[in-house]
Amino acid sequence: MALTLYTLCGIDPARPFSPHCWKAVMALAHKGLAFEEAPVPFTKIAEIEGGASRTVPLLRDGDRLVADSFAIAAHLEEAYPDRPSLFGGAGGLAAARFVEAWSIATLHAALSPIILVDIHDRLAPADQAYFRETRENRFGKTLEEVVANRDAGIAAFPDRLQPLRLMLGRQPFLGGEGPLFSDYIVFGALQWARVVSRAELLPEGDPVRDWFERCLDLHGGVARRVPAAAA
Amino acid sequence: MALTLYTLCGIDPARPFSPHCWKAVMALAHKGLAFEEAPVPFTKIAEIEGGASRTVPLLRDGDRLVADSFAIAAHLEEAYPDRPSLFGGAGGLAAARFVEAWSIATLHAALSPIILVDIHDRLAPADQAYFRETRENRFGKTLEEVVANRDAGIAAFPDRLQPLRLMLGRQPFLGGEGPLFSDYIVFGALQWARVVSRAELLPEGDPVRDWFERCLDLHGGVARRVPAAAA
């Protein structure tokens, strides 16, 4: 198979969880490309493709290696122009950079203090040690301290999505009538939480929740195949 | 002249201030279209074009009348396809709806409690009465109560722009290498504040401030011609 996507998993390789890897999975599915997904844990990333990248997703496409979810989407758009567009033109690609920045600054920043320990608990011991050390360095406190106000974070989370909620009053996807890569950027963040955590982040009847369900249904339900985190 | 844009002014017709009208001005300038700007105060909107619209901007383009800034941009894109694109394709247009929702939910919501009294103070007496009544109804408190925590709002404002700031590390405009209507959407909010208020919203050296200055320079400096609010 010509296309291999290296993604991130914990102790269970059937439950890849990285938001950025989910963006790449959805981008490949959107293009209708067959690919093999190869989930690896944190401490094995350095071993894939001869140490080609310190991060996943990493895409092997024939003789090309592409790291970074946005770069992967841009590569697919360029390499497979006859398949459904991921950006809907140059303006859509540029705007996707804003959506990416919004997702990182607003959603990822709010989700980390909710799901950080959930992630830790789903890793194998060697990855737990790596994860704890790198994240505690990044946040300047213990994982447990980062999630100390988890319940308040969950309660405050829906408000973060107000711009998307407002937009959904006009159109069903960030891409307009159908999804584009911008949808997958935001979807990735919420799928990250769905796969690792039982936190209920969006109330029933929330238009954002309905949009998320629509995304789970896309492309043969590729993202729904991984069940939501269970007890 | 075939194109007339009705915009919003206070007591000084040379200082149109509505964020939505500025979006339309920038869209017309982006297309390189000559137009006459006709600023009207709040209480005269009902009189223009035989009461065609309850809001401005309102564009007269030959025998067409188009209300609403986004509808105006979409109309210009369709009617003048050979001039520079405002959206860079269908994906850019769809994404601009997200930028619009983000600007309303994040920037307008934060600016109102900073500049509401500034706006009031720049209106003629009849418009002041209209403005006070409609806004106090909307907010459920007096104008003075809305701006009671103005200084805290000013201090918190730069953080609202973090997604744009993060994106500006990658590209100079929401439109990518050059501006698109999405830039004018966000620009409109900050220009609204610039024209009516002396509040210093962005620190020197902030990439968002630099981007805003770039927008003021666009299209012959059309938006800089109205000086910033003075004492």
Confidence of residue B172 (pLDDT cuts 50, 70, 90): very high
What confidence tens digit (pLDDT) does each residue in A17-48 have?
A: 999 999 999 999 999 999 999 999 999 999 99
Q: In whole angstroms, give the CA distance from residue B182 to residue B175.
A: 7
Contacts of B176 in chain A (CB under 8 A): 90-91, 93-94, 97
Q: What is the mean pLDDT of residues B134-161?
A: 97
Residues A42 and A105 in one domain: no
Residues in Cβ contact with B51 at an 8 Å cutoff, skipping those fewer than 6 apart: none
DSSP state of A122: T
Q: In whole angstroms, give the CA distance from residue A128 to residue A120.
A: 6
Residues in Cβ contact with B72 at an 8 Å cutoff, skipping those fewer than 6 apart: B5, B23, B24, B27, B57, B59, B66
**B193 near B103, Cβ under 8 Å?**
no
Q: Do B98 and A170 touch (CB under 8 A)?
A: no
- Supply the pLDDT for residue A219: 98
Contacts of B166 in chain A (CB under 8 A): 101, 104-105
Q: What is the mean pLDDT of residues B189-194?
A: 98
Say whether pLDDT at B194 is over 70. yes
Residues B72 and B161 in one domain: no
Q: What is the mean pLDDT of residues B200-207?
A: 97
Whether residue A142 is contained in a domain is answered as yes
The terminus-to-terminus CA distance of chain B in angstroms comes to 36
**Domain's final residue, options A79, A99, A124:** A79
Q: Mean of the per-residue pLDDT values for chain A?
A: 97
Say whether pLDDT at A230 is over 90. no
Q: In whole angstroms, give the CA distance from residue B158 to residue B205.
A: 12
- Supply the pLDDT for residue A1: 52
Q: Which residues of A lie inside 8 Å of B (Cβ-Cβ)? A: 85, 87-102, 104-106, 162-167, 170-171, 173-176, 180, 182
Q: Mean of the per-residue pLDDT values for chain B?
A: 97
Residues B182 and B97 in one domain: yes
Q: What is the mean pLDDT of residues B197-210?
A: 97
Say whether pLDDT at B1 is over 80. no
Determine what percent of chain B is predicted with pLDDT higher than 90: 98
We report the CATH number of the domain holding residue A11 as 3.40.30.10
CA distance A179 to chain B (A): 10
Contacts of B159 in chain A (CB under 8 A): none
We report the CATH number of the domain holding residue A179 as 1.20.1050.10
CA-based nearest residue to B110, from B153, B155, B53, B57: B153
Q: Do B101 and A163 touch (CB under 8 A)?
A: yes
CA distance B186 to chain A (A): 12
Residue B178: left if φ>0, alpha if ψ -120 to 50, beta else—which one? Answer: beta
CA dihedral defined by A125, A128, A129, A132, rounded to 10 degrees? -160
Q: What is the mean pLDDT of residues B65-83?
A: 98
3-state DSSP helix/strand/coil percent for chain B, to nearest 5? 55, 10, 35
Confidence of residue B231 (pLDDT cuts 50, 70, 90): low
Q: In whole angstroms, give the CA distance from residue B115 to residue B154.
A: 10
Q: What is the mean pLDDT of residues A143-153?
A: 97
Residues A122 and A211 in one domain: yes
What confidence tens digit (pLDDT) does each residue in B130-141 have?
A: 999 999 999 999
Q: What is the mean pLDDT of residues B30-40?
A: 98
Q: What is the mean pLDDT of residues A121-144?
A: 97
CA distance B214 to chain A (A): 17
Peptide bond between residue A179 and the one before it cis (omega within 30 degrees of 0): no
CA distance A108 to chain B (A): 12
Whether residue B228 is contained in a domain is answered as no
What domain range is B7 assigned to?
Answer: 3-79
Whether residue B194 is contained in a domain is answered as yes
Of B96, B104, B171, the CB nearest to A97: B171
Confidence of residue A231 (pLDDT cuts 50, 70, 90): low
Determine what percent of chain B is predicted with pLDDT higher than 70: 99
Mutate to test the interface with B, among A85, A164, A167, A183 (most CBs of B within 10 A): A167
Q: What is the mean pLDDT of residues B114-127?
A: 98
**Domain's final residue, options B79, B110, B135:** B79
Q: In whole angstroms, give the CA distance from residue B171 to residue B178.
A: 9
**Domain's final residue, options B45, B79, B113:** B79
Of A88, A91, A163, the CB nearest to B106: A163
Residues B99 and B178 in one domain: yes
Confidence of residue B2 (pLDDT cuts 50, 70, 90): confident
List b or e across A24-34, with b for residues whose CB sees 16 or more CB atoms inside 10 angstroms: bbbbbbbbebe
- Supply the pLDDT for residue B230: 83
What are A204-211's contacts with CB under 8 Å, separation 24+? A206/A158, A206/A165, A207/A165, A207/A168, A207/A169, A208/A158, A208/A161, A208/A164, A208/A165, A208/A168, A210/A168, A211/A164, A211/A168, A211/A172, A211/A173, A211/A183
Tokens 């890849």, residue?
A: A16
ipTM of the complex: 0.97
How far, rounded to the nearest angstrom, does the alpha carbon of residue B186 sit from its chain's CA centroid? 8
Chains A & B: contacts with CB separation below 8 Å: 131
Whether residue A216 is contained in a domain is answered as yes
How far, rounded to the nearest angstrom, does the alpha carbon of residue A170 sit from its chain's CA centroid? 25
Q: In whole angstroms, give the CA distance from residue B22 to residue B18.
A: 6
- Structural domains of chain B, count: 2
